[in-house]
Chains A and B, each alone.
Chain A
Amino acid sequence: MIKIIKKYINYVYLTLFAGLIVISYLSSKRKPDSVTELFTDFGWLNNFPKWLDAPFMIWINDWWRAFSVKYGLIFDAIGYVLLRAYSITKNFLIDIPWPIIVLGVVLLTFYASGKKIGTTIFVGFCTFSIGFLNPRFWDKAIETTTIVFIGLLLCLMVGLPVGIAMARNPRVRNVILPVLDLMQVIPSFCYLIPGIILFGLGAIPAIIGIFIYACPPLIRLTDLGIRLVDTEVIEAAESFGASKKQKLWGVQLPLALPNIMQGINQCTMMALAMVVIASMIGTRGLGDEVLLGLQQLNVGSALEAGLAIVLLAIVFDRITQAYGEKIQERTRPTKKKKVI
């Protein structure tokens, strides 16, 4: 059966293509008066003919209008949940006195990095410097962090299961991979602007933007991490009668963890980049300081804000990296103890 389909699939493509040309000819506003004109006047061979315009725009707009009317409520609900999560977290963090936050970050780094003093001091210093650059930045940095954090949670909730499913089933991988390519390649404004229509201005389209932009590397690295686990180790687990679940939780995920942590690190960095871009659609945070500086041609203010973003990025990066390294050390200890 599949063989027969394979044999004729090229003809199917050809028919589809021909059909598309006919449709675009019929729907075009600037087509020649009659078809016979095409065979008398060959001018259309020189320039790409105006009547060969596939009506995708019309289709998408029609679909989009119907879609946003029909499913608008669902998106309102999603937007509401995300907005609540965002504002509760943000208000909570902003109410905390800043020294306690700095202390919290320092403690988090200390334990996440496996008690590395150097990293801890460095991260603490960077955190402090964000406010030190400009006191206004402190609250904005917290807004940015909250958006990144919620976006990251969303990525994890969707990305990890999808990555696992891809690693376990090649068919799922074949379906998901082009989707990931699309998510990564499509320019961010193409989904930020529809995001505004569905969710309104502010933090929520930014979170959705983060999901589309930052989730692919997490999915890819989860998938890769699981597939890179030594086949002999997997066979060993199987040969002792481990079920699929036992294999996944007991062997594959723990061994893929360094790669997954790398994915989370990438995801965080890209989320931060997206929050800055999202300031263009009215997301508040450090990004809008950059935007403001640029709009006023105030180079100093824009650079200052840019530096604050870099500092924030360093803080995120160090904490997730350090945690990843700690995990890696646990699974693959390099220090050899003297064997007597």
Chain B
Amino acid sequence: MAKIEVKNIYKIFGTEPMNVLPMVKKGATKDIVLEETGHTVGLDNVSISVEEGETFVCMGLSGSGKSTLIRHLNRLIDPTEGEIIVNDTNVMQLSEKDLIEFRKHEMSMVFQRFGLFPHKTVMQNIAYGLEIQGMELNERNKIAMVQIESVGLQGFENQYPSQLSGGMQQRVGLARALATNPGILLMDEAFSALDPLIRSDMQKQLLELQSELKKTIFFITHDLDESLKLGDHIGILNHGRLVQVGTPEDIIMNPADDYVKAFVKDVNRAKVLRARTVMVKPDRFNGSEVKLADTYKVDGDTYIEEFIPRVLRERSTIVVVDKKGDTMGYITEKELAISLSKTSHNESKKSF
């Protein structure tokens, strides 16, 4: 059973969402619904399942409903129709009291503009979730201190959020979310407000934390590079509809429609594609071109950016091997050129 199951969620904003729902179900687009009824379609038949311990990245442009979706998981927003199941608990059926308990222990959230309490110190901010749980001051400060150290903010515990830089503030946000030790982390464009260098720093920090903690992370972003870097699976939302779900390579190699293609167009493929994906099988490989002296063995899971320089500089052929060391396929300049070209992979294959 998946950790998070979202089944056929609809969300319509407006005064009478129930009356508009049948229209949306029949397939009316967002624009038509808005024009005819004045209601905004937030989510349109979205189903997602997230396995335990994986990072699911939900991506889309602003207005695509991604922030609405993440708020459904802890029911900051109630859906118009649909089921949300977290840890085998049907979140939709929780009473108000149970919902509060559920939020206290099951998941915590990191916000785009940090959502820190400006009137509380860093320490008090981080301990907030524990305070709500009713933990004693000394005990919760002890846990908060551990979290402060894990995000590298020692010495700032008595500062107020406004005295910190953006990156540091978001580290407080992250530490606050981790302090209650929830199974699930919801991150709503958590790094979008940070400048590029700090962002990639934070991404690295999150990956490191994740490799230790193995949380289930639901991450929202509008940045494809970020989603490719962080996500085990990526879901792409457009106008409230889920257009494509897949692994980063899936998305790059087989974009489902023009919307996804537009997203994928400018991506640095070398950072995403692995040797295994771009190689040609030995039986289709024309061995005569290979000067075997120049071959170079790489593992199938290596990103191609790691061996591009070598191929270009030494004109060598890459031999892709599996874990046992057996040859799985070959990569030459030709395969690299195909995989790195901006048009979709399949089309460019035909043209060569």
Contact = CB atoms under 8 A, between A and B. Distances in A.
Our verdict on whether A and B bind, yes or no, reads yes
Interface of A: 230, 232-233, 235-243, 246, 251, 254-255, 330-337, 339
Interface residues of B, number: 34
Contacts of A339: 164-165, 168
Given A232-B115, A339-B165, 14 more contacts: A230-B113, A233-B117, A235-B71, A236-B109, A237-B117, A237-B132, A239-B76, A239-B108, A241-B133, A254-B119, A330-B119, A335-B163, A336-B163, A339-B168
A233 B120 CA distance: 12
Contact of B102 (A235, A236, A241, A332): A241
- Most chain B beta carbons < 10 A, residue from A239, A334, A337: A239
Contacts of A230: 113, 115
A243 B97 CA distance: 9
Interface string B114-132: 1111110000000011001
Nearest to A327: B119
A236 B115 contact: yes
Interface of B: 71, 74, 76, 100-105, 107-109, 111-119, 128-129, 132-133, 159-160, 162-165, 168, 180, 186
B198 to A, nearest CB: 13
B160 A233 contact: no
A110 to B, nearest CB: 24
B142 to A, nearest CB: 18
Given A233-B115, A233-B117, A240-B103, A333 B162 contact: yes
B117 A236 contact: yes
- Most chain B beta carbons < 10 A, residue from A237, A241, A246, A332: A241
A183 B160 CA distance: 41
Given A236-B116, A332-B162, A243 B111 contact: no
Nearest to B112: A232
Contacts of A335: 163
Contacts of B128: 236-237, 240
A135 to B, nearest CB: 46
A255 B108 CA distance: 22
A232 B111 contact: yes
Given A233-B117, A254-B119, A239 B109 contact: yes
Contacts of A240: 103-104, 108, 128-129, 132, 180
B144 to A, nearest CB: 13
B115 A235 contact: yes
Contacts of B186: 239
Contacts of B113: 230, 232
A332 B108 contact: no
- Most chain A beta carbons < 10 A, residue from B74, B117, B164: B117
